[in-house]
């Protein structure tokens, strides 16, 4: 599975959009981009995933560049409860399904 690069930390003001970048320049054509987050002392929570089209759900939007070498997770109106470590992961859609976590981005939402 391709490696990803994320900034170690980011701050965001409450109520503003949080834009979390991820570089995955070695991504293969059959690899999806997944985003998870982990709130302190809890298990990771699935946010969203995509292959090449932009995706949106009730939690967030995922913007994938046309060359698929990078993506951005957007939390449209960040709240204090969105403070967490956000992990960007790329993997092949196969029935092995395992996820390899990098170091992620610690997002601190401030009042």
Partner 1 sequence: GAVVSQHPSRVICKSGTSVKIECRSLDFQATTMFWYRQFPKKSLMLMATSNEGSKATYEQGVEKDKFLINHASLTLSTLTVTSAHPEDSSFYICSARTASGSSGELFFGEGSRLTVL
Give the nearer residue to partner 1 in terms of CB position, either 34 or 70: 34
Among residues 8, 29, 97, 111, the one that binds partner 1 under rule CB under 8 A: 97
The encoded tokens of residue 23 equal 């570089």
Q: Which two tokens mark 57?
A: 């759900």
Per CB under 8 A, 103 contacts partner 1: yes
One residue of 7, 14, 23, 44 binding partner 1 per CB under 8 A: 44
**Shortest spacing between CB 63 and partner 1, in angstroms:** 18
Q: Which of 29, 53, 58, 95 binds partner 1 (CB under 8 A)?
A: 95
Q: How many CA atoms lie within 13 A of 28 on its CB side?
A: 7
Asked if residue 26 lies in contact with residue 3, where contact means CB atoms within 8 angstroms, the answer is yes
- Identify the helix (H) or strand (E) that includes residue 45: strand 45-50
Shortest Cβ 45–partner 1 spacing (Å): 7
**Three-class SS state of 86:** strand
Contact flags string 47-66 toward partner 1, x per CB under 8 A:
--x-x---------------
Nearest to 87 by CA among 2, 7, 1: 7
């Amino acid at each position: 599975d391709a490696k990803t690069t994320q900034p170690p930390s980011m701050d965001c003001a409450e109520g503003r959009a949080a834009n979390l970048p991820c570089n995955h320049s070695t991504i293969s054509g059959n690899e999806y981009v997944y985003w998870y987050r982990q709130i302190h002392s809890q298990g990771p929570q699935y946010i969203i995933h995509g292959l090449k089209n932009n995706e949106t759900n009730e939690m967030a939007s995922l913007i994938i560049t046309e060359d698929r070498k990078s993506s951005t997770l957007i939390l449209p109106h960040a709240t204090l409860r969105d403070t967490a470590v956000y992990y960007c992961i790329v993997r092949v859609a196969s029935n092995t399904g395992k996820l390899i976590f990098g170091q992620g981005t610690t997002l601190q939402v401030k009042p």
